[in-house]
Amino acid sequence: MFLHVGIDEHDALARIPPELLVPAPGRPDLLVVGYDENGHCPMFVDGACSIYSDRPRTCRHYDCRVFAAAGVEPHQPAIAPRVREWQFTTDDDSAAALRAVSAAAAFVATRAAELGDVAPRGATRIALAAIRLRHLFGDGEPKVDAVRVELTPRRVSST
């Protein structure tokens, strides 16, 4: 998994060695940092982020708990074991929401063919879609068309 760093993220860029930064293809506003031979971010040193206070926006927004909440196995080998360790303590309402997220993830993963081109592809997109779709799964399984409508990108009118 490549780490995205915006060209406007001056603090992060000051902390990441320039030789690790590569322009993102087709994205002049973005640089990427690869991973080491173990699949880890090169800024991950001695079990922690070595630039945590100046970490890039991607790291600030990324939360691997979304995989555990959705019951989705991430494809990143460095993240998967940690995700398996997550346990949630919930009250009744939160437990119902967690079940709805898990049901939504299972639905979009197993019914991708029926969902067509709006089906999320990959563990991260499936997990994020499940969070977004959870409201449809509180009272059982919705119809495929209802899920497709929710997954269809909305266009903003310019008028």
pLDDT of residue 102: 93
156 pLDDT tier (thresholds 50, 70, 90)? low
Query: What gap in Å lies between CA 140 and CA 75, rounded to an integer?
Result: 28
pLDDT tens for each residue of 68-85: 889 898 887 777 888 888
pLDDT of residue 65: 80
| 148 exposure class (CB count in 10 Å sphere: 0-12, 13-18, 19+) | middle
Model pTM greater than 0.75? no
Domain boundaries, the chain: 3-62, 66-151
pLDDT tens for each residue of 19-72: 999 999 999 999 999 888 777 789 988 878 899 999 999 888 877 788 888 989
